[in-house]
Chain A
Amino acid sequence: MRPTRRDFLRTLSAAAAAWGLEGCLQVDKGQIVPYVRRPPESVPGRADTYATSVEVDGYGVGVLGECHTGHPTKLEGNPLHPASLGALGAAEQARILDLYDRDRLRALLHDGRPAAWDAFLARFGARGDAPWVRRAGEGLCLLLAPTASPLRARLIEELLALYPRASVRFSGGDVARWEAARQAFGEPLEPRYDLTRATRIVSLDADFLADEPNWIRWSRDWAVRRRVHGPDGEMSRTYVVESFVTPTGVAADHRLAVPGNEVVHVGAALLGALAQAGLPVPIAARASLERSAHRAWAEAVARDLVACRGEVAVFVGRRQPVAAHLVGIALNAALGGPVTWAPSPLLGAGTAAFDAAALVDALRGGAVDTLVTLETNPAFELSPDLGWATAAAKARERVHLAYLPDETAESATWLLPALHDFERWGDTRAYDGTAAPVQPLVRPLVAGHTPDGVLAMLAGDRAPDLRDRLARRWGERLEAALPRGVFDDTAAAPAPRRDVDWDAVARALPSPAADAGLVLDLVRDPRTDDGRRAHNVWLRELPEPVTKLVYDNAAVLAPATAARLGVANEDVVEIRRGDAAIRLPVWVLAGQAEGAVAVWTGYGRRAGGALAPQHGVDVSPLRTGREPWIVPGVEVRATGERHALATTQPHRDPHGRPILLRRTLADWRADPQFAVAQNTPPPSLLPNRSDVPRTQQWGMVVDQTLCTGCSACVVACVAENNIPMVGKAQVRLGREMHWLRIDVYDGARGPAFQPMMCVHCEKAPCEYVCPVNATSHSHDGINEMTYNRCVGTRYCSNNCPYKVRRFNWLEWHRGDEDVLRMHANPDVTVRARGVMEKCTYCVQRLRGAEIEARTGGRPIEAVPVTTACAQTCPTGALVFGLVSDPGAEVSKRRAELHAYAVLNEVGTFPRTRHLARIENPNPDLRS
């Protein structure tokens, strides 16, 4: 029987229904009918964007979620949100992939067996049979991830009103920072920086451009003063004191490499130098200066800072102890810069609620009957000397809400599946107090709950409707806030100036440093968010900005330290402290502080999804609650074993080639035309394209002064362009697929970053060697790839001087489950094996803008469009637009004097121009 059209459509819609609902527990057996009247906001084929927000370290960051036919596919920062201003980091963007993680918890488990939420309510609900229900909550203890959510605050209040004797605690938190502020100001305050007014920035071990809380906003603001338009311009100056080479250290003008435990001494010496310069700071600090090995450095920096008094911002990193934060407070106070101190928006900040040791003591004492851990993973995060596992085992019931089966889930009696950030209702609060709604981008794929939902259930709500609760919390303002993604006028009032208790500072000044031997510097890995995202392959295959290592962590050693220990790259060393020891491979890095071993934390997970336990070593055996980050006095010895590491860039010596141009501002002033020769096209035999009718012409500018290497652009590109991940073994073979990479080159003044992707050459060497015309030039200046026509000779890649082309050596998508394919951007082809691919300038966005301009009758200049990488760059180092429009930002930047064509002499006429990296070193300092 021949199928009729109706039969065909019926089968098709049934297939579509079956596919679309896969993974849902609440299977809707209803009929699928087409829209009779289409809702005006939904246009098939066009993405819908919803404003929501996520918590990063507990602070809210506004995001816009792009959904295609109901699948969220990509995240961008919300330009209206103060913590984002449109930018988003790598780890935040990669959360979209988690939504489709095949390992996520799908059902509630009680003692390992599936159970219903009603069973949970019967036990822990308002009339539940848990013993604390009738004892005012005595024996109920909740542990939450840090949060600033107003809704959650209200739910906690409700819970505590019902169970006044329950205890609510939080994990993590910047405890040392709050404690320092408590000592200096009497309150646990947090610094707020206005870097748009800072001309001198000092970072004491703070990676404020890639990892510190709120780094996205700090990067945005830092760029305002950093960006230099011409040789007569002004730019800020950044000093960094740190052990491991962080993106902030690379972006800085001066980087002093010292082991993590010496940072406080350098800070104190700086304070001493200010005292010497006559500033009203404790005179005792001069002793620190006098015995400092970096006295000349501190004095030179202090002269510079004093000269710029009122415009200096000092950051102290979250790894540093209280004393260092006190020194930072003193420096900021003495220099009077654009730094204010305000209460933290985090719930319970600076209180005993963040005291992990107290929690463990309470557990160990048997005072806790039911321990509820909500989206926090103490079994992995707490240092093992606290003895979490044995203490937690004393609680009779261990309720754990988690997205993935993590380490804490292993011993949970009730394991509750969490909803994803994009399946939930709620709210967040940013560093400055601005509240933002959390709204779902997709109907929940599993029958889970959020911490808010669990809190409401514990407080007696049988079926919590969080949207309703949110509406009750915010009233009419919610409807106004949902489309915009922020609650207007919720930012905290500017904080008043506070007086510093100088005695507290003087007491905190460090005594002379004893020789600590080799120091182990544990460094947070911003990619995996300290291991929390170790299951996310986009982040595991994202090259670490400076070493370009993927998947593993390593013992990073300075060349001199490695030579002294007699080890080289990939040699396995044993790092021992007392009885505890870990073994991990060495990576030698110029710029790493001598006498210190830097290791990223968050690797070697025992659980937490299929990928999390793979590759890397857990450092927690060497961690203690007292010294969680900086561990002095470790022994390191070679073991003779080797362990292969994968790096995407094995060579970083520029061989003297003029590829990454860098000048100091002073040199630029002396020779303003230094880049012009490299911006002048060489003679060419190839025909010009000027005979082509000039339509709009797209182009890009990469400002290397502003690139901090944070790699947000790389993940944006991955999400936008469906870039496959290939695994460690293939990366080792040199087959990573990222279209956009951030190269790092060593130089006399330290390393520097160079974002590199297809530069869309006007006379593209790839085009004339392709035997089948699979790569060709578009009318608007894009070097295009026609995947369907590519046979895979790879000649184009050979002839590409920038080596930005990527080849599908194997079928990378083989074995993807349907649900995994749902994150793919339907506007971009998923490439099959055997074809070449590369950056397209996000051509799908450009064509969309063209259609919009044509149908709307608007000039293309009036349609806002940019590439995914440029959209998300926190510092605005990537600028995309119409080079044919002289008024466009990209045209202005292209015309600047330090614009140049990378490999200009090869005669490729790249459309993308790089701006030379301009540095602003202190003339009194030699390095």
Chain B
Amino acid sequence: MTTPPGARLLVGRWDDASLTDKLLEPVQRPAPASRAVLLVTGLGAAMLFATMGYVFVTGIGVFGNNIPVAWGFPIINFVWWIGIGHAGTFISAILLLLEQPWRSSLNRIAEGMTLFAVMQAGLYPILHLGRPWFAYWLVPYPSTMSMWPQFMSALTWDMAAISTYFTISLLFWYQGLVPDLAAARDRAQSDRARRIYGLFALGWRNSAWHWRHWRRSQLLLAGLATPLVLSVHSIVSMDFATSKLPGWHSMIFPPYFVAGAIFSGFAMVLTLVIPLRRLYRLKAVLTPRHLDLLAKLTLVTSLVVSYSYASEFFIAWYGGVEYEKYTLLTERPFGPYATGFWIMIVCNVFVPQLLWSRRVRASTVALWVISILVNVGMWFERFVLIVTSQRADFLPSSFGEYTPSLIDWMVFAGTISFFLFLFTLLIRFVPFVPIAENKEQLH
């Protein structure tokens, strides 16, 4: 990427000490609002767990799912959250391997977002099971009855892919955090904080050996995480693509899902970063150039997603399979859930085209609004994909309708709260802009 003149990744004059001070400021002098945000989102998270308890006790009949729409909100939201989780690893791992220096300011936020989004996503497949207490049967463990999962099912691989992804993301994120935790330890204002940060800093002493090992393992984990970015959502897409359902049974799904995931992930990074840099006055490290680059990548992935949409419709028409033609060319654009379809098209295809304009990319307000619209659009993409394909498939006698229940909405709102709660905790207790890596920018 060529750097346009004047678009630098660090604005202002800094030395190591002042930069450390600046980036540790949110931890040492938390914004007064953070307590209120924690309270509100914490209550939302409590509602989530109460609702989950209710669902476990009563049965998933309290959702709006039915036959034919056997997968409703839980799977829509699962795919949405998993998609959001993708940009983090993309920014931290792939850009590390590609030696893109601009990732350094963003990677911690993005990775935290990944972790927390995958946590939300991971709740759903368990919650939506008829008998969630047997969820571990999807895991290949040696049981006395020699019962194994059925390895032809995409769900078995889904379980493996998501748990692997979560583990690697957690390790990668935590390991990257160690030098900064040490910095927080060294500048801790209370004994208790010093002990806690010290515990998590794993005895980091800033020696050259530490740095050498740290750098190596970061590269190794990045190497491990990179294929996961591509594989996780490919496997999630196979939950759909390996079925026979018109609208799901499609070869294009793996790349299409990965592009969509990164698209929504970038949008979510923008959604989170723009208010943060304003709130914590971090315009020096989260510069307009960072936003510009994120916006450009959003535009690129939007184009890939748009291409995938076009290809789906073309193949439905060209393939001539009656059922697919009906689902894609009649049901989606003109059926009872057409509103969702058109929201998806407008938000994912047309709105991102505004990012061609440099003025739009330079306007934080415009970028923020666009990023939110993209997330809305991507949610509707999953809604359209899941509901319209299931509600009208082969036999018209089985065509049905789907209306999410109050519980569905409560769980969805609960996961958003839980996500924001975890994210606020991150902001509050961990230097969310990497200090060490930004100091490298100085040298």
Contact = CB atoms under 8 A, between A and B. Distances in A.
- Judge: A and B partners, yes or no: yes
Interface string B137-153: 11000000001111011
Nearest to B134: A791
B153 A805 contact: no
Interface string A202-216: 000000000000000
Nearest to A773: B150
Interface of A is mostly: loop
A769 interface: yes
B70 interface: yes
A769 B394 contact: no
B150 A772 contact: yes
Given A765-B244, A799-B245, A835 B131 contact: yes
A336 B156 CA distance: 70
Contacts of A772: 134, 137-138, 149-150
A903 B322 CA distance: 11
B70 A652 contact: no
A164 interface: no
Interface residues of B, number: 51
A908 B68 CA distance: 18
Nearest to A649: B397
Contacts of A745: 396-397
Nearest to B70: A794
A792 B60 contact: yes
B131 A651 contact: no
B131 A791 contact: yes
Interface in A785-805: 789-795, 797-799, 801-803, 805
A808 B152 CA distance: 25
B107 interface: no
Interface string B393-409: 11111111100000000
A716 interface: no
B395 A768 contact: no
B396 A651 contact: yes
Contacts of A743: 395, 397
B339 interface: no
Nearest to B137: A772
Interface in B146-187: 147-150, 152-156, 159
Given A734-B401, A791-B131, A835-B131, A798 B149 contact: no
B441 interface: no
B214 interface: no
Interface string A764-785: 0100111111000000000000
Given A734-B66, A743-B397, A836-B130, A655 B326 contact: yes
A834 to B, nearest CB: 3
B18 interface: no
Interface in A707-747: 730, 733-735, 741, 743-745
A102 interface: no
B58 interface: yes
B311 interface: no
Given A655-B326, A790-B131, A810-B58, A801 B395 contact: yes
A811 B59 contact: yes
A797 B67 contact: yes
Contacts of A811: 59
Nearest to B239: A795
B61 interface: yes
Given A655-B326, A803-B393, A834-B129, A773 B149 contact: yes
Contacts of B323: 657
Contacts of A656: 322
Contact of B130 (A652, A734, A835): A835
A548 to B, nearest CB: 9
Contact of B395 (A659, A773, A795, A798): A659
B363 to A, nearest CB: 43
B135 interface: yes
A794 B393 contact: no
Interface string B42-66: 0000000000000000111110111
A659 B134 CA distance: 38
Nearest to A799: B243
A808 B243 contact: no
A279 interface: no
B306 interface: no
A418 B155 CA distance: 56
A545 to B, nearest CB: 13
Given A735-B61, A772-B138, A801-B393, A807 B67 contact: yes
A506 to B, nearest CB: 49
Contact of B397 (A652, A730, A906): A652
A654 interface: yes
Instruction: Give the one of A657, A798, A836 with max B CB within 10 A.
Output: A798
Contacts of B137: 771-772, 789, 791
A791 B401 contact: no
Contacts of B60: 792, 809, 834
A799 B62 CA distance: 23
B396 A798 contact: no
B424 interface: no
Nearest to B156: A771
A801 B67 contact: no
B68 A734 contact: yes
A756 interface: yes
A877 to B, nearest CB: 17
A805 B138 CA distance: 21
A134 interface: no
A465 interface: no
Contacts of A373: none
B242 interface: yes
Contacts of B204: none
A657 B322 contact: yes
A292 interface: no
A653 interface: yes
A334 to B, nearest CB: 42
B71 interface: yes
A833 B130 contact: yes
B153 A801 contact: no
A531 to B, nearest CB: 29
Among B65, B134, B150, max chain A CB count under 10 A is at B150
Contact of B155 (A655, A795, A836, A908): A795
B397 A792 contact: no
Nearest to B242: A769
A769 B138 contact: no
A654 B135 CA distance: 39
Contacts of B244: 765, 799, 801, 906, 908
B401 A650 contact: yes
B153 A795 contact: yes
Nearest to B152: A768
Contact of A754 (B397, B399, B400): B397
Contact of A809 (B59, B159, B396, B398): B59
B104 interface: no
A765 B401 CA distance: 23
Contacts of B242: 768-769
A657 B396 contact: yes
A921 B398 CA distance: 30
B416 to A, nearest CB: 24
B327 to A, nearest CB: 11
Given A799-B245, A805-B67, A770 B150 contact: yes
Contacts of B131: 790-792, 832-835
A772 B148 CA distance: 7
Question: 7 closest Cβ contacts across the A-B interface?
Answer: A792-B130, A834-B130, A809-B61, A734-B66, A810-B61, A803-B398, A743-B397
23 contacts: A651-B396, A651-B399, A653-B396, A768-B152, A769-B242, A770-B153, A773-B148, A773-B149, A789-B147, A791-B131, A792-B60, A792-B131, A794-B70, A794-B130, A795-B70, A797-B67, A798-B70, A799-B243, A801-B394, A802-B395, A809-B66, A810-B59, A832-B131
Given A741-B397, A744-B397, A799-B244, 9 more contacts: A654-B396, A734-B400, A756-B395, A769-B153, A797-B68, A799-B245, A803-B394, A805-B67, A807-B70
